[in-house]
Amino acid sequence: MVRRRGGATLLARAATALAAAAILVFVLFPFYWLLATSFASPTSIGQWPPALWPHPPTWVNYRQAFDDYGFAVYIRNSFVVSTAATVATVSLGALAGYGLARTPVRGRSATLVGALAISSFPAIAVISPLYLVMHVLGWLNSYQALIVPYTAFNLPFTLWITYSYFRQVPLEVEESALVDGASPVRVLLTVVAPLATPGLFTAGIFTFVACWTEFLMALSFDTENSMRTIPVGIALFGSQYVVPYGTIFAASAVVVVPVALLVLAFQRWVVSGLTAGAVKS
């Protein structure tokens, strides 16, 4: 009986390891294929059977992306917009989440549900009125034309994440700091915020990625080439008769791989931030 149980346990572990390996390959293979194609020569892309790795690898696709299409300008624009929107979203969301978590206000649940309901509206439903607003304000083809909407659209999710995480911070820690003479603002910045770092980091990562990859608003509000962001710039690579697949893959690799590595490096914080409040209410 013991031998049978031991054999069954080993078999279950082997099956689990095999399934995990299969899932890992399934998830990581698109990233590998993205990198492999980005180093392939334009003439070898699309050949059958496809090579698992180009022979020899070449940097021509990356040179075309930066020299011929001005990809560095798109990276600069996306970085400025995404960083500014992330800082604004996390700052406002942290203040609102802390206030809802620590202040006994009426309608707290309704406020949270309402914020989440507002964020469920698709962006295409508000593009037309937002475009009119941007036109009246004179914000078209500017950074604020994307920073302000990005902040508004990502704020509800950040509010939920920070609210759940602040509720896990023991109230006694704040009370001790207040007794020692710290102001409420100092308590938030020096005591509560460090304890809630995983939640704030998770909200920041998701906000940054959402802004980094947003397409519809960037296409509608910033039409000048000097103000285009990465998704719009990559979508407009090529012409009516030529699609530079190698250049598109190279530009996508420059954009996707660093963000993916960042998320993998801090995956524990991301998981901790997403699961905050799942057990304790």
- The reported pLDDT for the residue numbered 80 is 96
Q: What number is the average pLDDT over the span 150-161?
A: 90
pLDDT value of residue 259: 81
pLDDT of residue 272: 58
Residue 144 clears pLDDT 90, i.e. is over it: yes
Q: How confident is the model at residue 176 (pLDDT cuts 50, 70, 90)?
A: confident
Residue-range domains of the chain with CATH: 60-274 (1.10.3720.10)
Going from the C-alpha of 233 to that of each of 70, 76, 81, the distances in angstroms are 9, 12, 15
Q: Mean pLDDT over residues 143-157, rounded?
A: 93
For residue 103, is pLDDT > 50? yes
40-77 pLDDT, tens digit per residue, is 888 777 777 777 888 888 899 999 999 888 899 999 99
The pLDDT value recorded for residue 201 is 85
